[in-house]
């Protein structure tokens, strides 16, 4: 039921396509992450593979195409937060940008693209072209989203204490890509929601974070239970995944999250 992105998800950029550049020697890979260690880890991996192939490190290459790379993007805020100061302080007057991700939630690219263009203009820069490359996408239909709110004291207490406006339940039957059946999906979604409310009740550190929900971190008002991201990457579990997968508070989590 859970999509695990293994070592193959760390894909080294073996070849260039789509006519932007003829080799990665013509690209500059940005290392501009303000927080977290994912971008640094991805670039470390690229450099290690380059060394094995007898090539120059990815970090040492310099070209006119700027490449922002990371393992996962869900809401898109990290991309915006990382690139905004770079565009203001370091980007040339006109530039092209490639956002290269290993996994992403589909449907956010247009918002992020438009916002980057607006912020570039505000900084007096011109983002001439922006392209997205992603190894694999998942959609909101693949995320954990309960079809019914379980009748459970822990869930009821969390809803009441937080004055949570419950969303409309997921309708119809559907397995997405990662569930064996609709019945199995309903069971795991219900159990993850219950476990998440228990974790929030016992984990004071998480409880203090206003955007933390039983099914993961979210800033979206239409996802008050959490986004429920269904993936774990080769290096970490996104905090927008259900708390039961990565957070302490009930039992030892399956995929303990590395602190960012």
CB 41 within 8 A of CB 69: no
Give the C-alpha distances (Å, rounded to integers) separating 230 from 45, 191, 245. 24, 15, 10
**pLDDT score recorded for residue 105:** 93
**pLDDT score recorded for residue 167:** 84
**pLDDT score recorded for residue 177:** 78
Judge whether residue 18 has pLDDT over 60.
no
**pLDDT score recorded for residue 46:** 93
pLDDT, mean of residues 61-76: 94
CA distance 161 to 157: 6
**pLDDT score recorded for residue 3:** 54
> How many other C-beta atoms are found inside a 10 Å radius of the C-beta of residue 85?
14
Domain residue limits, the chain: 3-138, 141-246
**pLDDT score recorded for residue 101:** 93
Give the C-alpha distances (Å, rounded to integers) separating 15 from 24, 47, 61, 189. 8, 15, 15, 39
Beta bridge mates, 78: none
Judge whether residue 154 has pLDDT over 60.
yes
**pLDDT score recorded for residue 252:** 87
**pLDDT score recorded for residue 10:** 59
CA distance 140 to 163: 25
Give the C-alpha distances (Å, rounded to integers) separating 87 from 20, 76, 96, 161, 241. 21, 16, 11, 42, 30
Judge whether residue 87 has pLDDT over 80.
yes
**pLDDT score recorded for residue 1:** 47
What are the tokens at 201?
Answer: 């009740």
The pLDDT tens digits of the residues spanning 199-245 come to 999 998 888 888 999 999 998 888 999 999 999 888 889 999 999 99
Please provide the average confidence, as pLDDT, over all residues in the chain.
88
- Helix H, strand E, coil C: the string for the chain is CCEECCHHHHCCCCCCCCCCCCCHHHEEECCCCCCCCHHHHHHHHHHHHHHHCCCCCHHHCCCCEEEEEEEEECCCHHHHHHHHHHHHHCCCCEEEEEEEEEEEECCCHHHHHHHHHHHHHHCCCEEEEEEEEEEEEECHHHCCCCCCCCCCHHHHHHHHHHCCCCCCCCCCCCCCCCCCCHHHHHHHHHHHHHHHHHHHHHCHHHHCCCCCCCCCCCCCCCCCCCCCCCEECCCCCCCCCCHHHHCCCCCCCCCCCCCC
**pLDDT score recorded for residue 29:** 96
224 closest CA partner among 206, 211, 240: 211
pLDDT, mean of residues 65-91: 96
Query: Could you give the angle at the alpha carbon of 120 between the alpha carbons of 24 and 239, nearest 5°?
Result: 75
**pLDDT score recorded for residue 249:** 84
Judge whether residue 19 has pLDDT over 60.
no
Judge whether residue 9 has pLDDT over 70.
no
């Amino acid at each position: 039921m859970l999509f695990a992105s293994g070592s193959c998800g760390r894909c080294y950029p073996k070849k260039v396509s789509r006519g932007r550049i003829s080799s990665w020697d013509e690209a500059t890979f940005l290392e501009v992450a303000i927080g977290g260690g994912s971008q640094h880890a991805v670039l470390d991996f690229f450099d290690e593979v380059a060394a094995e192939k007898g090539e120059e490190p990815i970090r040492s290459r310099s070209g006119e195409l700027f490449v922002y790379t990371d393992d996962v993007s869900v809401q898109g805020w990290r991309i915006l937060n990382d690139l905004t100061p770079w565009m203001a302080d370091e980007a040339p007057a006109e530039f092209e940008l490639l956002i290269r991700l290993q996994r992403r939630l589909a449907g956010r690219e247009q918002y992020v693209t438009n916002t980057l263009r607006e912020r570039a203009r505000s900084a007096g820069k011109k983002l001439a072209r922006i392209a997205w490359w992603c190894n694999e996408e998942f959609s909101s239909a693949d995320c954990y989203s309960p079809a019914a709110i379980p009748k459970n004291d822990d869930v009821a207490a969390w809803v009441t204490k937080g004055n949570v406006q419950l969303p409309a339940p997921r309708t119809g039957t559907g397995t997405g890509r990662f569930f064996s059946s609709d019945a199995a999906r309903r069971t795991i979604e219900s159990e993850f929601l219950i476990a998440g409310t228990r974790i929030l009740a016992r984990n004071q550190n998480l409880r203090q974070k206003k955007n933390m929900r039983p099914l993961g971190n979210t800033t979206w008002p239409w996802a008050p239970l959490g986004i429920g991201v269904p993936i774990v990457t080769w290096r970490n579990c996104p905090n927008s995944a259900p708390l039961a997968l990565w957070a302490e508070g009930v039992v030892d989590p399956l995929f303990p999250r590395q602190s960012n």
